[in-house]
Amino acid sequence: CYLDYIKFIGVIFMKISVIGGAGYVGLITALGASSMGHEVISTDIDEKKVQNLKINVSPIYEENLDSLLEFCNSKNKISFTSNSNEAIKESDLVIISVGTPTKINGEIDLSQVEMVTKYLINSIKNYTLIVIKSTLPITAVNVMKKELDSKFESGVDYDIISNPEFLREGRAVHDFYNPDRIVIGGDSNKSINILKEFYMPLINRDLNIPNNIFVSDKKIPIVETNLPSAQMIKYGSNAFLANKISFINEIAQICESVDADVNDVIFGMGIDPRIGKNYMQPGPGFGGPCLEKDLTALVELGNHFELEATFMKAILERNERQVELIFKKITNEVEVNSEITILGLSFKADTDDIRNSASIKLINLLVEKGYKVKSYDPKAKYTLNNQKYTQYNQIYASIESSNCIVIMTEWDEFKNIDLNKVYELMDTKIILDMRNLFDKNNDLINNFNYFGIGN
């Protein structure tokens, strides 16, 4: 089948299916592949999302995603379906982007991966390259291989490649077209070369995308390695990023006790090129579907091989404490029964995703302790069946008569808020800025009882 690819002026266009194609990674990968000239079938079990995608309605909010979806649909190089078996039958390359959520007991839920393995066993007809984009536990890939080997011959009927994604929510479209690196982990040169061919239009910047999407001409490094190393690159990267956040949050906490300013500390530390100042912003702790999950997976992997992952555990424990510390700051300043306004529900700016969001944990804690909580977010929604909690559609309405504002997400709208108006609207003038959006020496901020983080 590989030989059947349509060769067109030296570039090989492939038939691709993306399983889990309505999810975050899957949708962006499917659209990205389509914009590279490949013929893409994007499949998802959620029929409603599939129907919506056909009419340009995206299930998630992400910068430039709507225009990319509309553009790709208009070029007829992508289709959306819930029939994964049919899609796999027609594909040379199957990209797996299904979810791997964490269960309540901390184990990774592999049910979606197990289902995809069944589709593959039912539907592979010719040589198929299986590309794993989801962050799968290393042990799970071995299980998948074993099941496929009960029917097929590895290297002849199929190969598995790990090709981890490094997309950030809120910047995912940008990150797809401007990757810092492409990591390809596989057991044979043949499989690695096919995936390199798949990426050739991106590497050569030969893309069919709307004008508003930025594409730099920086050379994209390709890292070729074996399968577990590619997976460990992904786990190691996310664990290291999480480590930076827990580290700087702890430094910020110490700064508060010794009267130091964490912003100056980050600046002074970051000048050393071995340290750098990127990804060192203290805040309410890391949230979202990835960092915590991947750290937990490393802890599990450690348990599996009887190697206690003490360092990973410490990163997680430090992160869990962050919301409690914010809660303590609030209770020091505001009495129970007071009105608190939470600005920002999503786990970070520019996304509507509230998974593992520190804001949600804080809201639940405040309501449970008897505070009246009002919230506002430009995109995210959170409902709670409790009279003590209300979400507002308008920022100033959420602030009116409030005793304390807690800024939890770094949305631009909050940075540009009219502080004079806020001052007029509030009952008691307390701001807890857990993203350090404001300069504490700003004259207008000085009118408030203002607390940043680590300064």
The catalytic residues are 290
Nearest to 130 by CA among 140, 143, 145: 145
Q: Exactly one of 287, 344, 452, 454 binds ligand UGA (CB under 6 A); which one?
A: 287
Rounded CA-CA distance 65/19 in Å is 19
The reply on whether position 281 binds ligand UGA by CB under 6 A is yes
> Binding string to ligand UGA for residues 245 to 274, with x set by CB under 6 A, is what?
x-----------------------------
Q: Tell me the backbone φ, ψ of residue 317, rounded to 5 degrees.
A: -60, -40
Q: What is the rounded CA–CA span in Å between residue 269 and residue 289?
A: 29
Q: List all residues 6 or more positions away from 99 whose beta carbon is below 8 Å from its beta carbon.
A: 20, 23, 109, 112, 134
> Which lies closer to ligand UGA via its Cβ, residue 186 or residue 289?
289
Per-residue interface string for the shown chain with ligand UGA, residues 369-398, x marking contact by CB under 6 A: ------------------------------
- Distance in Å, CB of 307 to ligand UGA, minimum: 23
- Cα-based angle 388, 381, 26 (whole degrees, multiple of 5): 150
Shorter beta-carbon distance to ligand UGA: residue 98 or 148: 98
Question: DSSP code of 416?
Answer: T
Piece of the chain touching ligand UGA by CB under 6 A; list 36-44, 73-81, 163-171, 379-387: 163-171
Choose one: 160-168, 256-264, 391-399, 444-452; the region binding ligand UGA (CB under 6 A): 160-168
Q: Which of 279, 311, 320, 369 binds ligand UGA (CB under 6 A)?
A: 279
Q: What is the DSSP string of 336-391?
A: TT-EEEEE--SSSTT----TT-HHHHHHHHHHHTT-EEEEE-SS-----S-TTEEE
Interface residues for ligand UGA in 227-246 (CB under 6 A)? 238, 241, 245
Pick from 77, 348, 361, 374 the residue near ligand UGA by CB under 6 A.
348
- 350 touching ligand UGA, by CB under 6 A: no
- For residues 172, 115, 108 and 348, what is the CA-based torsion angle, rounded to 10 degrees? 20
CB of 138 to ligand UGA, least distance (A): 16
Between helix 291-304 and helix 227-258 the angle, nearest 10°, is 120
Q: In Å, how far are 70, 176, 184, 198, 261 from 215, measured between CA atoms?
A: 19, 10, 21, 18, 37
Instruction: Single out the residue of 80, 286, 411, 451 in contact with ligand UGA (rule: CB under 6 A).
Output: 286
CB of 292 to ligand UGA, least distance (A): 9
CB of 414 to ligand UGA, least distance (A): 13
Which distant-in-sequence residues (6+ apart) come within 8 Å of 448 by Cβ? 419, 423, 429, 430, 431
288 binds ligand UGA (CB under 6 A): yes
Site for ligand UGA (CB under 6 A): which residue of 198, 347, 376, 450? Answer: 347
Interface characters, 167-196, with ligand UGA (x: CB under 6 A): xxx---------------------------
Three-state DSSP class for residue 40:
strand
Whether 382 and 408 have beta carbons less than 8 Å apart is answered as: no
- Total number of residues binding ligand UGA (CB under 6 A)? 19
- What does residue 322 show for φ and ψ, rounded to 5 degrees? -60, -40
Nearer to ligand UGA, 38 or 348 (CB): 348
Provide the minimum distance between the beta carbon of 73 and ligand UGA in the complex, in angstroms, as a whole number.
25
Question: DSSP code of 152?
Answer: S
Pairwise CA distance, residues 62 & 349, whole Å: 10
Contact footprint for ligand UGA (CB under 6 A) = 165-169, 238, 241, 245, 279-281, 283, 286-288, 290-291, 347-348
